[in-house]
Amino acid sequence: MSAPPSTTRRNQSQTHRQSRRGTEESPLVKWLLITVALSFCTVFLLLPLANVFVQALAKGWSFYVQSLTHPDSWAAIRLTLLVAAISVPINVVFGIAAAWCIAKFNFRGKSLLVTLIDLPFSVSPVVAGLMFVVLFGAQGFFGPWLEAHNIKIIFAVPGIVLATVFVTFPFVARELIPVMQATGTEQEQAALTLGASGWQTFWRVTLPSVKWGLIYGIILCNARAMGEFGAVSVVSGHITGLTDTMPLRVEKLYQEYNAPAAFAVASLLAVLALVTLGLKTLLEWKQARAYERALRDSR
Amino acid sequence: MSIELRNVTKQFGQVAAVSNVSFSVNEGELMALLGPSGGGKTTVLRMIAGLEVPTTGDIFIRGQRVNDLSVQERNIGFVFQNYALFKNMTVFKNIAFGLKIKKWKRADIKDRVHELLQLFGLEGLEKRYPHQLSGGQRQRVAIARALASKPSVLLLDEPFGAVDAKIRQELREWLVTLHHDLNVTTIFVTHDQEEALEVSNRIVIFSRGHLEQVGTPREVYETPANEFVARFIGVMNVLDAEVKGGVARVGELQFPAPGRRDGSKVRIGFRPYAVQISTDLTLYPYRAVLRHTFFLGIMLRLELELASGLILRSRMTKEEYAQLGLEDDREVSLQIRNFRILSSDTSALSPEQEVQHLMPPTIGEHI
């Protein structure tokens, strides 16, 4: 109250000039944070990634193509695609079913189910692999029975698929649960009152309304399925040309001091990662654009 | 008879959401299910639709018992409170959905949808998505979708709940017109008594899962079946009085209650318009002070405090108010033209009584 009016006026004009919100950090802090974040990304993400491609092509294109078409590497690529082609659809079906029952029903043990879905995220992949060895290995729980019926799971493709399914289990469900919870059940009830059967309702109403979440979940699930190392390493037995997936093949080549070939296979995995990221960004961009267009049209 | 409920009860766990409800809806009627929230009215609507299954009792649609018919087989149109439009479909596809499911021919679907778009004033919007529509447009799409395959009954859950006050009034009038034009049996749920009185042919009043009264708006307003209805429909002054010498007394107020035992408790109810006011302090038997005047548009609500501290509510037009020369804190005289005894021991209400000429002449001594 006792302050002269001139002071007040000067203070006002100052705040006006900076036009900064009261909750905002000072410019120094802002630029410092941006610099730290960007240099961190460059040093730990961009440089290594670029290095993969540089190393892969160090001995020229022909060596690069040769490394990839080497029978053992080619077998690893095919196995990886096969494993992804089996485990991703399994997890899509499971993910939709789990998300559906969690989002739409109330039942005893629901929170337990939600926790269980997250389990593969919290368990080390190596432990996950070991669990399957203990269950299905020669000395394992089902081992004698499996051997008697001449079924091979550990050190064979079924084991690799099992381990991959376990590790990639949460991706689709995790993406779908919030989307389905937000959508609620009214649209489905509306479809029922309009004469649709449960199946028709699922295909025409439920699935389209969670389309983007589902696609996003599938992309992430696929990326992890192809890139998984730890769990697969434990159950595969590293039989060259038979049970080596791409990540295992990369490691093996590297251990054999064949770094250029290792990087060549690794670059394929890296390309997959980049394609995944690109698709994800494209999806988000398309969604945002559709939303903006909708907003504009509604005006 | 289009729809009939016989002794329908719906139990959710231990709680009876609806208990032993029976009523019927005539062909072509516009019926309101009215009650406070949690009264069971939406559950009744969902049971008619087949979205809930009654625990006991029977539901008939056009004479056919539908208890065991699924939602899909009942041929009803249902409009959800928040419309539940298919977000990923255009207006056209929303309305066409039921027809496609019922395997109508392509050309027939197109004709029917365009007919509905025209009827509902939605032409030009067929390619829009639900989020690009206003609240009123969304509701019209939802009703068009529900009516597309010509259901025998149209069911609406709180149809005016999700729009703002101004559009609500328009939509009410529009619904009445629509019902008049299409003449399809319509049942809607509302918690707004004004809405029910204005829109419907008949009203079913629920409270806590029980049916309280079925009747035309006029019947439930003028001859409420019990105290709940009397208090729920419109505003009512309710006073607890004690009978002495055939007169029910509360504060300085006296109401004739012939045939009632001395010392028995009765509840007296009267509408705000039954309270007559004059600035001439000798005109009416009781004296009061006008405490507050509430502005409600054309009508004003008056809060009057009697000498004993009792508060009464009255109602009059702005013109009457100006004519009387009233203002807050003004002393007035008043009388209660007619009232009812809302006995709490029996659910039936006594007929309304005219008071004016029955008022004991000794009343002046009390003031």
List pLDDT tens digits, range B297-327.
888 999 999 988 899 999 998 888 888 888 8
List pLDDT tens digits, range B158-167.
988 767 777 8
Same domain, A44 and A188: no
List pLDDT tens digits, range B211-243.
999 999 999 988 888 888 888 888 888 888 888
Residue type, B86: F
**Which residue of A185, A192, A194 is the best one to mutate when testing the B interface, meaning the one whose CB has the most B CBs within 10 A?**
A194
Q: Is the pLDDT of residue A143 over 70?
A: yes
Evaluate whether residue A205 is within a structural domain: yes
| pLDDT, average across residues B69-95 | 91
Write out residues 49-88 of B within 8 Å (CB-CB) of A: 49-51, 71-72, 76-78, 80, 82, 84-88
Same domain, A98 and A204: yes
Report CA-CA distances (Å) from A225 to A40, A170, A219, A284, B275: 27, 12, 10, 22, 79
Q: Which domain holds residue B273?
A: 237-366
Evaluate whether residue A201 is within a structural domain: yes
pLDDT value of position A8: 45
List pLDDT tens digits, range B319-350.
888 888 888 889 999 999 888 887 644 444 56
List pLDDT tens digits, range B254-272.
998 888 888 888 888 888 8
Report CA-CA distances (Å) from A137 to A130, A157, A161, B307: 9, 13, 15, 94
Q: Give the residue from A56, A71, A106 where a domain finishes.
A: A56
Evaluate whether residue A77 is within a structural domain: yes
Q: Answer whether A205 touches B (CB < 8 Å).
A: yes
Same domain, B214 and B252: no
Same domain, B62 and B161: yes
User: Which residues of chain B neighbour A196 with C-beta distances below 8 Å?
Assistant: 72, 97-98, 101
Q: Is the pLDDT of residue A15 over 50?
A: no
Same domain, A44 and A181: no
Q: Give the predicted TM-score (pTM) of the model.
A: 0.75
pLDDT value of position A237: 82
CATH number at residue B241: 2.40.50.100
Number of domains in chain B: 2
CATH number at residue B136: 3.40.50.300
Write out residues 152-191 of A within 8 Å (CB-CB) of B: 183, 186-187, 189-191
Q: Give the residue from B207, B232, B257 where a domain finishes.
A: B232
B341 alpha carbon, distance to own chain's centre: 23
Q: Is the pLDDT of residue A9 over 50?
A: no
| pLDDT, average across residues B46-57 | 93
From the list B297, B295, B299, B358, the residue with the least C-alpha distance to B328 is B295
User: Which residues of chain A neighbour B137 with C-beta distances below 8 Å?
Assistant: none
Same domain, A115 and A171: yes
Same domain, B221 and B86: yes
Query: Residue B73: phi, psi to the nearest 5?
Result: -90, -5
pLDDT value of position A3: 43
List pLDDT tens digits, range A75-102.
999 999 999 999 999 999 999 999 988 8
Q: Is the pLDDT of residue A240 over 90?
A: no
Contact predicate A243/A156, CB 8 Å: yes
Comparing alpha-carbon positions, the chain B residue that sits nearest to A294 is B132
User: What does pLDDT average to over chain A?
Assistant: 84
Contact predicate B265/B231, CB 8 Å: no
Check B97 against A209: CB less than 8 A apart: no
Q: Give the residue from B199, B232, B265 where a domain finishes.
A: B232
Same domain, A194 and A215: yes
Distance from CA of A18 to the nearest CA of B (A): 39
Q: What is the largest CA-CA distance in chain A?
A: 98
**Which residue of B43, B45, B47, B86 is the best one to mutate when testing the A interface, meaning the one whose CB has the most A CBs within 10 A?**
B86
Number of domains in chain A: 2
Q: Which domain holds residue A33?
A: 26-56
Same domain, A292 and A198: yes
Same domain, A34 and A119: no
Evaluate whether residue A5 is within a structural domain: no
Same domain, A43 and A122: no
DSSP-assigned beta bridge partners for residue B124: none
Contact predicate B311/B303, CB 8 Å: yes
Same domain, A34 and A79: no
Same domain, B24 and B143: yes
Q: Give the residue from B217, B232, B247 where a domain finishes.
A: B232
Same domain, A92 and A233: yes
Q: How far apart are CA B343 and CA B220, in angstroms?
A: 17
Same domain, A33 and A118: no
Q: Specify the 3-state DSSP secondary structure of B280.
A: coil
Q: Which residue has the tokens 């009747």?
A: B215
Same domain, A63 and A32: no
ipTM (interface pTM): 0.78
Name which residue leads in pLDDT, A276 or A88. Answer: A88
